[in-house]
Amino acid sequence: MPTESNWKVSRDAAYFLRVSERQLFRLRKAGILVAGTHFIRKFPTANSALLYQVDLCQQAMKDASSRNVQTLETAEV
């Protein structure tokens, strides 16, 4: 009996993680979700859909939200 994959397309991953697809984009841009670990392209082309490893994404989001306040502050020069 085949098991269900944890790789989900953007819409399904967003629903599972309880965020918007736009928030997934923001998490990628912020470096919280890392290419090759948290998400991959469905096909090796620039316009291909993304697939997300939802369990790893959930853990990365949890880790990012539990950071120390001092490490989130940036010094303005």
Rounded distance, CA 4 to CA 7, Å? 9
> Which CATH homologous superfamily contains domain 7-66?
Putative excisionased domain DUF1233 (1.10.1660.60)
Model pTM score: 0.78
Q: How many helices and strands (H and E) does the chain possess?
A: 4, 3
The model's pLDDT over 13-59, given as tens digits with 9 standing for 90+, comes to 999 999 999 999 999 999 999 999 999 999 999 899 999 999 999 99
CB-CB contact of 13 with 20 (8 Å): no
Domain boundaries, the chain: 7-66
CA 11/CA 18 separation, integer angstroms: 10
- Distances, alpha carbon 70 to alpha carbons 10, 16, 41, 50, 73, in Å: 32, 30, 34, 33, 5
